[in-house]
Structure 1
């Protein structure tokens, strides 16, 4: 439903907002890690340099020590004070040179420690600034994410309310339909009861009991349906209560809405009570009318009434079920066609998203006729076949009313009005058709149209006239309108001839498929004969007789095999909505998105490794801090802390 779609859409939007804000926060951590990696590389190089210096100094010190030791051995063998003084001076200079090298290395270590201390202080300041920036971005992320959640929650709540309103309206309509069905069954029951009164006076009480049982079962069924609807209403209320628990901060608002729902439920119960009272009043009226009908029908002929009414009832049932089956086929066809169009829309929407959002290309539909529905001629015979004007009248009566037919939006005139609009010139043409071609309308249909207003009468007359003239599409209406316009009379014949030639060519190509429905031709023969005059003027063939016009209309009826071929082409056209080229493009996009997903997964793994190393560093720092603060250090003569402070130059 709309609520689920809005919830999924909100989840995607919240996730995208969360990812964007998280990237802003993680950018700071990435910069810190990059700078730390550079520092470690620099420290590694410096460590190598210090190791090299230390090795060189150690090598020089060893050489000087060896020289000094050798001179000490020579010193003990030396004789004479001046020679001894000179050698002692040389030993003193060699020792001084050795100590100078040591002091130089120590001074370099001390200067390096001071630089490290300054760098550490600067790093602390920079870390404080980055932490402040991180806190600022986290606060900004929190406020942004909170606003996003609030907006999406409002959208989800709005979608749920819209869906709730639609469900309530749907339940009300179903209840009204159930009451209509109940009324129709009661009327049929009363008619059957009136038919059997004169023939079965002795068993009248038994029949009343049986009919009362039937009425009770119908009433129980309707009451069960009402209880089911009430249970559904309770389930919907439970669903909204669950959503209330999930959205705690909107608890007060939803409580108010719950009160409104309770008020609506109370009003509905009052309405049901009021309708029940009306039904009881109607039952009393029906009982009074039953008594009156019984008194009026006692004088009728029992045998003739029973046999004739049973025969007529059997005919009506046969025609009713025959027409209902064909109407059901038409409705099932439309339902499957709508589902197919929805799937095609989904495929085209996916292709448009891939082209525009993933590839950045301009998208346009290559097949504009994919969603074109089948010609209404395919379903025309579903109602007309094996019926006569009398069965059509019964069908209209059983179907409800003419207004119900208009409300189903099957009128060709309404379709033309919605697409093209009706200007003053077309209005005059339609009025002229209603007046001049009224003889094409069936007489019984005219009687049915008498209770309606003028607009609805004109609408049904135009549909009947268009059907008699084989005008089945909006283009046919425009072609017919050009006949009545003075400026277009010259080009009319050529256009109409071309239109007829196209139909004849199509009929010749499928001529082997079968013949047209003869029952429909017999049913429409009277209307076709009258409409021949109009077709004769449009084609300027005044010499054609009534038989030629009937033959021409017979060609306009497609055969059964032609219907099957058109349906086959129609479904094959739908299967080719995505061609091979576009499908290969989808595969390439899918492969690229897989590579991109793999890259993101690797990046996520590296981020987790960095996080793990950072945690290890924190643990090592904590362990070092624990060792430095241990009580064992106080018991040592030279604690490690004093050595580190001395090396840093803090203690002398």
Structure 2
């Protein structure tokens, strides 16, 4: 464990100078007291901040409190671990002081002993000089005995000092073994405190993470409740708006009905006025006829008079005629000459015309061939376009369905909300899909409408029972907003005109098979094939188709007539281009078959269709995705921080293992065998067994 950063600067307890070590210890005590006061003030500050800042989320508050607790635990653990080293350094300093004191005493003792030995040695030396003057053996023997005693006493003092130093040296060895034992105990204590600190930190981390998770969970539940309440409010507002819209629609229907009734009354009044005016015009015309008869009688008398005058003039013209015959003879000669010239010119022009006709025929054949190639390439390009369209559409719809599936999984599994199919998913069912070139509108009629074939059968029967009716009969209407229902005779005439001019939509094989049938049955079968080709499925579609085949009269003559047969194809194209019946529902997507005879498709709705496919996911769901992504990223950051802490713990464990290995090498070194008391004899057997197991 590393010490706080403040200990890396200033005086250090590891300094060689005694004053710096004392100063470092004093500063350490002052800092410890300050930290104790700071912890109390920080707790009060946290309480004040928690009371003042009510807008801060529970999760952020819990994270702040957890960080402060973890920092306090880390700092206290660092202090607890480093205190062992400080105590060891203090013991080492005391040992060094005692060592210096004992060295000083030994030096003084040695100096005193050396001084005393020199005095005795000088005394013994002086006695040797006086011994040369002694001639008596007994006196010399006594002197030698005294000298020997002095020398033995000096040697005894030397041996006593040596023995004392040996005892001190043995005591030093014993103290060294005790220091090694104490050092091993300190290391074990450090390891024990480090393990305890790691366990406390792990426990604190687990507790604080649990609290943070609980804070996040409670905050998430509150946020979900709030969002759900807002959603219910919005849905209630939308429901109220829909009810208001329905009421407004009912009011508009009533207004339109009243306007329609008013128009009916107004048209009846105008009809009566026109009828009166026409009767008045008939009377005026009869009066003019009488006047014309009188004028005719007068003109006949004038003509008789003119006949007599002309008869006179005829005689005069006979004379003039004879004169003109002679003139004609002269002109006949001139004419014969001109005819000869004309024959020559005609032969030359005929040859030139034949040449130009050959050139025109050749160019026409080339144009037809070019037109045929153009249609072929156009059909090929259209087919390629349809194939690419279908391929991209299948891929886009598959991706859209995958997005909806992922959205459902996120809502149900990750967020825990109820999931429903959004309104934008209707595009996958075919809503708003533009028709391709040659693709018929695939629809199914509703159960409340009669099919086109059954309606046509009823119309043909009604027209046959009514007999040959007038095509200009007035249209009868009823009070619905779906259109007009025409006279059966008129509709039958429209259907016969459709079969006559659109028989190319019926297969040739079917035409041969229908030949033995009666007229009405043959007409009904042809209509079935034509209806399938142009997309007529209901009775309402027949009424809509009839509107394209009639010509409305002017306001003075409210009558109807059929269009010219040459305009039938134009009416059919107009009916198909204006879209299918609103009562149809789209069926499932089928394989598109290209029809070369189909009209050019309308591509105005393509961009909207592809944009709806691209925006299959609503904006509200995208915002929920973003919020979930933000939460997951925060959770990932927490896990990353935990991973770093685990790595640091692993590093500390590796360092612990390395320290154990170094201690094992130190204990098993051969140098210990030379010592009188090896370090292994002072270490407990259980600790050696643990080291052996670890190694």
TM-score, normalised relative to structure 1:
0.31
Structure with the largest fraction of helix: 1
Point out the structure with max Rg over C-alpha.
Answer: 2
